[in-house]
Amino acid sequence: PTSPVINFALGNQLYFTRHYKEASEQWQLAISILPTSVQGYYGAGLSEEQLGDPQRAEREFRRALSLDPNDPDILGALAHVYVHTGRTQEALGLLARMAAMHPRPAYEIAVVEAALGQQVAAAQWIAVAQKQRDSNMELFGLDPRMDQLRHRMTRYVANNAS
Report the alpha-carbon distance of residue 21 to residue 12 in Å, rounded.
Answer: 12
Which range is least confidently modeled, 6-20, 88-102, 147-161?
A: 147-161
Using pLDDT thresholds of 50, 70 and 90, give the confidence band for residue 160.
low
Write down the pLDDT at residue 161: 61
Write down the pLDDT at residue 156: 56
**pTM score over 0.85:** yes
- Which among 101, 135, 130, 153 is positioned nearest to 12, based on CA atoms? 135
Report the alpha-carbon distance of residue 76 to residue 104 in Å, rounded.
Answer: 12
Per residue in 32-83, pLDDT tens? 999 999 999 999 999 999 999 999 999 999 999 999 999 999 999 999 999 9
Report the alpha-carbon distance of residue 126 to residue 93 in Å, rounded.
Answer: 20
Per residue in 122-150, pLDDT tens? 999 999 999 999 999 999 999 999 999 98
Write down the pLDDT at residue 50: 98
Write down the pLDDT at residue 159: 64
- Which among 72, 77, 67, 4 is positioned nearest to 40, based on CA atoms? 4
